[in-house]
Structure 1
């Protein structure tokens, strides 16, 4: 275990699997899973990442080759028991790949119970800005509360939910401070991803983040790049870019800055519902205009010198956003490049302008 707060956070990130915890562990896939409710139920929420560059034949057997490779990797790791003890699994319907993962796990539990896959539940959150959508989402959240109570044997009282909301909103505020450190080049993109994704109980995570704010950090240098497009559940692409002389100062995907973009605010279940309804915008769930405006604003705030839209093979939504994003960025004098059809965890640097 490292000695500085940053080293300890990186350790928690790099050793996040297999999971070790005293209490219940609930794995989850997708940004739409309300982790506050998992915390309120006394369980540890653990977001599942894939692992680039490894054999995914097992996952491919059930998902085929036309699915985004990160989810094929996640299923492969589930089948191989690489995540350690997962008591249950929550999967959000945030994209087609996540949905296919849910159905695969559910069916495999039915036809091949010997595989030992965890019981899975689909978290279905809609994002249209209508009161009917809010009503739909409230029903789905109430159902999720009942499922978590059954899984854990813990009643999710209003007080427990309020306390969990407070802890997670505190973490979001702290993660915003982490983003500010990165904009000052006191953290690299690789380090920031580790700080965001460290797996430990939220109260302990918050304390380490507070310690990080008070610690001494080196100042880095490099061409400031902002990432849009596909999400990054591992630091592999960030590593390639930063070894090539870039510094990733921001991103608009849900493993990075987007985690902290919206607070819950009021410590109530209704406010929690609306936080997830209006959270975003991601490529699979937001309009092209909203994505373009958000990306341009975030890139300007980061002082980005270049925006890279990195798109994995079989991730079809991001390329539709790029023309509008590039136009919005040109208005601020920021060049943008589309690096399309990339293999999971890899990037072709020949397509990224270095000067």
Structure 2
């Protein structure tokens, strides 16, 4: 019988095509409140690209100046690789996601034969003001109405509360998974699988609890913390770990940042503030906030080196790096940036491991 870790890795590697009994709602970006999707009785599935494949079809509509991860997602939507996606929620977490939303919306209007799912934009702002909170409250109220129309399910207070508690429980479990990785009992690749396996939240929580009770091997290698572009696939982590490293932490929204902030009180108002104040990501946080966050997280992970990995056409991370390097230097942690990298690969020609 497969171990809990093997099951999680399997669910991660076989994320698509999606097979589910109920409504499947694709999600693009970290600002989609998956709790509301769960409360509506649907399965939220965050969409990842696929490195190393032809993205010409996606680039036809997005152009070649967009983050190739977004072009890959659009290509997979157009070719049907995700399987059954009944609806699509896209958050405005970065420019690439926004462009993807407009492309899907227009393609549905102009070429209905493509069969793209009905889509809705989740617009979350992140300024620390009460007026921003009121704005996001309005957008979440609109989303509730959209989900009720899509699913035919009334999103009552108890349903929303139950979903919030289930997802907060998963965030607590993800934090425990991160602690295992800091103790070198999981690799970075394995941790990404534990975070990104596509499962209903209750089933995901069950496997994570079993994982935490498992007898796991201890790994060795140079302790690496990853910043910069996000990683929706394990290829870059795998390259680093095959080069003698262990990725012990990261600050992007496919990893530790998913668990950085709980909702707490199981109410819609608290959910709004969780998404408003979650971060900071490279695309949304200030340079100072990013530097402070990266330094704290790298110290907590006892990182020996911080790697800023920056994909081609991902313009935000290089602005952060000088301040990050300075903040890390105050803790004696060196940092290196790999810029203009192709999606899913890292050029290790200048070997930095010894």
Residue 339 of structure 2: aligned partner: 340
Residue 145 of structure 1: aligned partner: 144
- The question of whether the paired residues in 2 share the 8 Å contact of 1:308 and 1:352 is answered with no
Residue 173 of structure 2: aligned partner: 174
Q: Distance in 2 between matches of 1:62 and 1:318?
A: 25
* TM-score normalized by the length of structure 1: 0.99
Seen in structure 2, the aligned counterparts of structure 1 residues 96 and 114 have a Cα distance that, compared at 3 Å, is same
Residue 72 of structure 2: aligned partner: 73
- Note the C-alpha offset of 1:57: 1.1
Residue 159 of structure 2: aligned partner: 160
Seen in structure 2, the aligned counterparts of structure 1 residues 351 and 124 have a Cα distance that, compared at 3 Å, is farther
- Note the C-alpha offset of 1:134: 0.2
Query: What do the CA deviations read for 1:314-350 (whole angstroms, capped 9, x no partner)?
Result: 0000000000000000000000001100000010112
Residue 4 of structure 2: aligned partner: 5
Q: Distance in 1 between matches of 2:134 and 2:112?
A: 36
Residue 43 of structure 1: aligned partner: 42
Unpaired runs of at least 5, structure 1? none
Q: Distance in 1 between matches of 2:48 and 2:183?
A: 28
Query: What do the CA deviations read for 1:246-270 (whole angstroms, capped 9, x no partner)?
Result: 1000000000000000000000000
Q: Secondary structure at the match of 1:38?
A: helix
Residue 320 of structure 1: aligned partner: 319
Unpaired runs of at least 5, structure 2? none
- The question of whether the paired residues in 2 share the 8 Å contact of 1:339 and 1:352 is answered with no
- Give the count of matched residue pairs: 354
* TM-score normalized by the length of structure 2: 0.99
Question: After superposition, where does 1:269-288 map in structure 2 within 5 Å?
Answer: 269-288=268-287
Q: Distance in 2 between matches of 1:178 and 1:349?
A: 28
| Off by >4 Å, runs of 4+ in structure 1 | none
RMSD over aligned CA atoms reads: 0.6
Query: What do the CA deviations read for 1:68-119 (whole angstroms, capped 9, x no partner)?
Result: 0000000000000000000000000000000000000000000000000000
Q: Distance in 1 between matches of 2:58 and 2:140?
A: 30
Q: Does 1:23 align with 2:38?
A: no
Seen in structure 2, the aligned counterparts of structure 1 residues 352 and 252 have a Cα distance that, compared at 3 Å, is farther
- Note the C-alpha offset of 1:63: 0.8
Residue 265 of structure 2: aligned partner: 266
- The question of whether the paired residues in 2 share the 8 Å contact of 1:306 and 1:336 is answered with yes
- Note the C-alpha offset of 1:351: 4.1
Residue 232 of structure 2: aligned partner: 233
Q: Secondary structure at the match of 1:350?
A: coil
Q: Distance in 2 between matches of 1:90 and 1:218?
A: 38
Residue 218 of structure 2: aligned partner: 219
